């Protein structure tokens, strides 16, 4: 099982990443060496906005642990009585487009686990128990913020320096695992195979590569990933199509029929249907929207 030495630099899954990065400070950091086989990276976001902004993400097949603090721009409370709100939660795999409205000032410190990497930290439940759900951290990690220990919410969110936040995230996770789990390691390897091999388009081929029956493969993914293998294959297809649309720029667009064939779709209509159902607009409209400077065009992007 490999361990990444540096966080990813791509923006896969972020809808209109240029717009997001123009409004927030977004960084990724590498976790402690002992944690790298299980984590993609830490992701940190800080913002101070004078007007609300909605960010949209097509989630990866990954569980996240999220520490977040929201409040008015000038500190709590403001003239309307609004106050700072802070929370920590486990965010299971999101099945649809995730939208978050950002206002005032805020800070988020997140942990993105590798697909399958969360199971060794919470082995009492199948990862599918968290799919489509966001639950308080203490429901999964009973000792989080528990008696006699430091409060991880404060430890992670209070420091202004990135290295101190990363150290707090490392300390929290190392206090809660990971427990050895050969099944989770196998699941992580299979998802990495899906991600790396764009020619792998069918669950039957994945089953053959794993040496498992289709039913055993489904059980492994439910227990360790949280979604089925077909869902993972389709999600990575959409991420690829989204990235191609973003890279098209104002001068042109991808050959959608060729891309559909490359990604394993039977025809262009199937790709368009999946893309539209996930993102909220057809791929051609999305490509025009992210490359256009006009706010009127950007408003065509999903705002739900």
- Average of pLDDT values for 42-68? 95
Residue of 66, 39, 42 whose CA lies nearest to 177? 39
Predicted confidence at residue 144, as pLDDT, reads: 56
Cα separation, 86 vs 71, whole angstroms: 9
- pLDDT at 168 > cutoff 60: yes
Average pLDDT over residues 143-166: 80
pLDDT value at residue 281: 84
Lowest mean pLDDT among 116-120, 232-236, 295-299: 295-299
In the CATH scheme, what is the code of domain 182-298?
A: 1.10.10.60
Instruction: From 71, 77, 78, 80, select the one nearest 103 (Cα to Cα).
Output: 71
Res 298: pLDDT: 41
pLDDT exceeds cutoff 90 at 34: yes
Is residue 299 within 8 A of residue 19, CB to CB? The reply is no
State the angle between helix axes of 283-291 and 229-247 in degrees (0 to 180), rounded to the nearest 10.
40
Between vectors from CA 231 to CA 227 and to CA 232, what angle results, nearest 5°? 85
Confidence of residue 133 (pLDDT cuts 50, 70, 90): very high
Indicate the pTM of the whole model. Answer: 0.86
The residue-averaged pLDDT of 87-113 equals: 94
Mean pLDDT of 76-95: 76
Task: Provide the pairing of β-strand 98-102 with 53-57.
Answer: antiparallel
Model confidence at 142, pLDDT cuts 50, 70, 90, reads: confident
- In this structure, how many other beta carbons lie within 10 angstroms of the beta carbon of residue 168? 21
Domains 17-174 and 182-298 are alike in CATH topology: no
As its CATH architecture, domain 17-174 has Sandwich (2.60)
Which pLDDT band, with edges at 50, 70 and 90, does 248 fall under?
low
| Three-state secondary structure call for residue 271 | helix
Residue 158 φ then ψ, to 5° = -70, -40
End-to-end, the C-alpha distance of the chain in Å comes to: 39
pLDDT score for 246: 78
- 65 phi, psi to nearest 5 deg: -105, 130
254 compared with 109, residue with greater pLDDT: 109
Domain ranges of the chain: 17-174, 182-298
- C-alpha 97/C-alpha 58 separation (Å) is 5
pLDDT of residue 90 exceeding 70, the answer is yes
Mean of the per-residue pLDDT values of the chain: 85
User: What pLDDT score was predicted for residue 150?
Assistant: 64
Amino acid 302: pLDDT: 47
pLDDT digits (tens, 9 = 90+) for 198-240: 778 889 989 998 999 999 999 999 999 999 999 999 899 889 8
Q: Give the pLDDT of residue 67.
A: 97
pLDDT for 293:
41
Determine what percent of the chain is predicted with pLDDT higher than 90: 59
Distance CA 57, CA 93 (A): 12
Spatial strand order in the sheet of 105-113: 25-29, 39-48, 105-113, 64-71, 85-91, 134-136
Between the alpha carbon of residue 165 and those of residues 86, 108, 257, the distances in Å are 15, 10, 45
d(CA 255, CA 77): 52
């Amino acid at each position: 099982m490999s361990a990444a030495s540096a966080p990813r630099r791509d923006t896969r899954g972020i809808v209109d990443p240029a717009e997001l990065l123009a409004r927030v400070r977004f960084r990724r950091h590498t976790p402690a060496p002992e944690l790298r086989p299980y984590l993609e990276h830490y992701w940190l976001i800080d913002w101070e906005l004078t007007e609300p902004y909605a960010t949209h993400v097509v989630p990866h097949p990954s569980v996240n642990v999220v520490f977040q603090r929201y409040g008015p721009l000038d500190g709590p409370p403001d003239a309307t009585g609004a106050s700072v709100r802070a929370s920590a939660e486990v965010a299971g795999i999101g099945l649809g487009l995730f939208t978050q409205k950002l206002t005032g000032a805020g800070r988020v410190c997140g942990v993105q686990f590798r697909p399958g990497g969360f199971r060794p930290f919470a082995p009492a439940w199948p990862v599918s128990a968290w799919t489509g759900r966001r639950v308080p951290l203490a429901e999964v990690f009973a000792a989080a913020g528990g008696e006699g220990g430091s409060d991880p919410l404060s430890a992670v969110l209070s420091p202004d320096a990135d290295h101190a936040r990363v150290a707090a995230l490392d300390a929290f996770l190392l206090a809660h695992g990971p427990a050895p789990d050969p099944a989770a390691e196998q699941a992580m390897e299979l998802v990495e195979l899906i991600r790396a091999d764009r020619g792998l388009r069918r669950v039957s081929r994945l089953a053959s590569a794993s040496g498992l029956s289709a039913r055993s493969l489904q059980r492994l993914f439910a227990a360790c990933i949280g979604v089925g293998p077909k869902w993972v294959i389709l999600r990575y297809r959409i991420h690829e199509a989204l990235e191609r649309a973003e890279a098209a720029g104002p001068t042109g667009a991808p050959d959608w029929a060729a891309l559909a064939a490359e990604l394993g779709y039977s025809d262009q209509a199937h790709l368009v249907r999946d893309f539209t159902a996930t993102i909220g607009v057809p791929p051609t409209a999305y490509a025009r929207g992210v490359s256009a400077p006009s706010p009127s065009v950007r408003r065509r992007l999903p705002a739900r």
